[in-house]
């Protein structure tokens, strides 16, 4: 899994939190970072490295590709990664070709939830050809284009209907099984201050995993800093609205 101090670490923490029944933000926008469930989640990630040693300490430096490479070279039994890795690990000559399976993330008491990834298509507001650009967007999001792109690159398509397409299922059985994961997937915490919120999570989760902070200390600090961040953001928004 991805334990380096970057967005991937925040995502892994969110998934552990959801799997333990926790939340980062409540539906009312309240900050719920420092909770018993979230402490269990962070302790679980820390103990994978420090106590159980199910994860090598090198995980603390891993992003997606080092994670895949370690698994593909036979240095790990399990891996948490994104669908793009399926095609690479099943490529001709790969030591893992035909020797691994995939499944959705699990939680402590049942199914877990994966964080949504993906990309976006946008049109520059100053474009001199917005209608033509929109036609390109429509084409790229058409079922046929999504199917070709997915089968060529290994990326999972956003159109859930494709997962029931016989040709798609036959060509990429592993991707076809991702439908269950997508139906359970969750958005990362929704906030206009998300980049800064994520950075706070990354800093304190990393400190907990590397032993610089205790689990409770890390989450309490993250709670305080995110509350302050959201108060500041709300105040700035109010001033902008008044102006």
| Domain annotation covers residue 124 | no
| Domain annotation covers residue 86 | yes
Neighbour count for residue 200 (Cβ, 10 Å): 20
Phi, psi of 25, deg, nearest 5: -125, 140
Those residues whose C-beta lies under 8 Å from the C-beta of residue 65, and which sit 6 or more positions away, are none
67 and 106 within one domain: yes
| Domain annotation covers residue 97 | yes
pLDDT digits (tens, 9 = 90+) for 119-130: 889 999 999 999
pLDDT digits (tens, 9 = 90+) for 135-175: 999 999 999 999 999 999 989 998 999 999 999 999 988 88
**pLDDT of 243:** 62
- Written as six digits, the tokens of 167 are 């040709």
Answer yes or no: are the C-beta atoms of 71 and 60 closer than 8 Å: no
195 and 173 within one domain: no
List, in sequence order, every residue forming a beta bridge with 106; answer none if it has no partner. 111
| Domain annotation covers residue 15 | yes
112 and 32 within one domain: yes
176 and 224 within one domain: no
Number of structural domains (the chain) is: 2
151 and 108 within one domain: no
Answer yes or no: are the C-beta atoms of 24 and 205 closer than 8 Å: no
CA dist., res. 148 & res. 91, Å (int)? 18
Q: What pTM value is reported for the model? A: 0.91
69 and 56 within one domain: yes
192 and 156 within one domain: no
pLDDT over 80 at 28, yes or no: yes
**pLDDT band per the 50, 70, 90 thresholds, residue 117:** confident
pLDDT over 90 at 225, yes or no: yes
Burial of 33 (0-12, 13-18, 19+ CB in 10 A): buried
Report the CATH number at residue 103: 3.40.190.10
Around 102, how many Cα atoms within 13 Å sit in the side-chain half-sphere?
Answer: 24
| Domain annotation covers residue 148 | yes
pLDDT digits (tens, 9 = 90+) for 40-88: 999 999 999 999 999 999 999 999 999 999 999 999 999 999 999 999 9
169 and 73 within one domain: no
137 and 104 within one domain: no
**pLDDT of 212:** 98
- 169 is in which domain, residue-wise? 130-184
């Amino acid at each position: 899994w991805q334990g380096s101090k970057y967005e991937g670490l925040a995502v892994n923490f969110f998934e552990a939190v959801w799997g333990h029944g926790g939340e980062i933000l409540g539906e009312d926008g309240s900050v719920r970072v420092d909770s018993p469930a979230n402490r269990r989640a962070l302790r679980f990630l820390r103990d994978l490295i420090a106590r159980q040693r199910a994860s090598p300490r090198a995980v603390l430096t891993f992003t997606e590709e080092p994670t895949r490479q370690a698994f593909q070279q036979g240095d790990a039994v399990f891996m948490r990664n994104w669908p793009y890795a399926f095609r690479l690990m099943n490529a001709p000559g790969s030591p893992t070709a035909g020797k691994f399976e995939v499944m959705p993330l699990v939680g402590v008491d049942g199914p877990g939830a994966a964080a949504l990834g993906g990309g976006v298509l946008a049109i520059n507001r100053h474009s001199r050809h917005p209608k033509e650009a929109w036609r390109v967007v429509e084409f790229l999001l058409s079922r046929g284009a999504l199917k070709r792109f997915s089968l060529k690159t290994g990326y999972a398509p956003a159109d859930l209907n494709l997962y029931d397409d016989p040709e798609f299922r036959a060509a990429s059985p592993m991707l076809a099984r991702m439908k269950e994961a997508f139906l359970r997937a969750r958005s990362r915490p929704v906030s206009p201050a998300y980049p800064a919120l994520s950075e706070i999570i990354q800093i304190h989760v990393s400190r907990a995993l590397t032993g610089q902070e205790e689990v409770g200390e890390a989450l309490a600090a993250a709670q305080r800093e995110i509350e302050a961040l959201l108060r500041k953001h709300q105040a700035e928004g109010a001033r902008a609205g008044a102006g």
